[in-house]
Structure 1
Amino acid sequence: MTTENSVIVGYARVSSRDQNLDRQIMQLLPLITNERYLFQDKQSGRNFDRPEYQRMKDFLRRGDTLIICSLDRLGRNATEMEKEWKELTDRGIYLRVLDMPILDTKPGQDTMNQLVSKVVFDLLSYIAQMEREKIRERQREGIAAAKKAGRPTGRPRIEFPKNWAEIIKQYESGDITAQKAQQDLNLKPGTFYNLLRRYRKR
């Protein structure tokens, strides 16, 4: 339920450099608590990093309302939209979709609105599941085709650096730290420890 401290937040996003945020901003500003509560992202190319969206999610509290101009502001596909919708509503955050008011989750919605909202969400979940199945099927087909053509599948096996034995001897005798060993071997921490596990199993 909403409280005296609840706020109404807006989120705007465009998916290319050519698009403009102004139209969404004009729609959202009159509806939110304060212009400080308007979060906006502008992605470029294939980059889908959404720093403002993540900051907004950290800011939102139970009882707050999030307004978006359209459902696809939540994600690029049905899978992402379903995930974000469920996460937000499970946290007690109300959603208002301007071009689909039937989806509003605000308290006081009549029974028909609640029913339609549930049907739409169930449909979204179904589409998301179909998307995941298609992705898995394409992956299986790609792996099968690669095997048939004799191409390697999966991640290439990382080889031990030439100076591995010398550096690991120093590391295991306590002469150098793990961080120094990683620097000398020019390896990231995750790769270093993966190789170390393989080395110790020999």
Structure 2
Amino acid sequence: MRTVLYMRTSTRGQTIDHQLTQAQQAGFVIDEVVADAGESGISTTLAERPQGRRLFDLLREGDTLVVRWVDRLGRNYRDVSDNIRAFMDRGVVVRTVIHGMTFDGSIKDPMLQAVRDALLGFMAALSQAQAEATKEAQRVGIEHAKKAGEGDRKYRGRKPSYSRGTFNKVMEMLESKTGPTVIANATGLTVQTVLRITRNPEGAAAALTAWGE
């Protein structure tokens, strides 16, 4: 029986090492790491990712699959829920680093099964909603920057003290409910900068676009 950590990074602000460290700090002892880099969680299914496909061949009954969050396993509600159920059907336990969720197909009690399935559906739907909200914030930021540039191309405001990669990492850590002080320490930003991004992510994204980031 093995514990396999599957990781996906979809932006420059996300790193393989960061997700592995999170898993280890949560108490997981990882036997093997499987990782996809640069694969969009919204546009690419798990089965379409090179290492995502490998999971279906690698994992066996009794194994544990660890992921940072359920959104690592699909692009939307249907993809996430179907993949987790597929792993449970083959006897694989799926566990998350964030909030310590466990999805175990060996549960026989019908009431516990109902609770597990309801939780799975809710978390899969939440993952899709968060992904869509992030994508919309980025779209609004880009449009805002374009309109501002059309009105006065010379004025772009103060140059951001963060890069696109750092901004993406802040947004990723915010999704996992990480506090501003921890985010500041991890990204090298000041707490004030992290708070500004938190209060107005659309404006922060627009500032980066205005400066060509």
Q: Name the TM-score, length of structure 2 as normaliser.
A: 0.47
Rg larger in 1 or in 2?
1
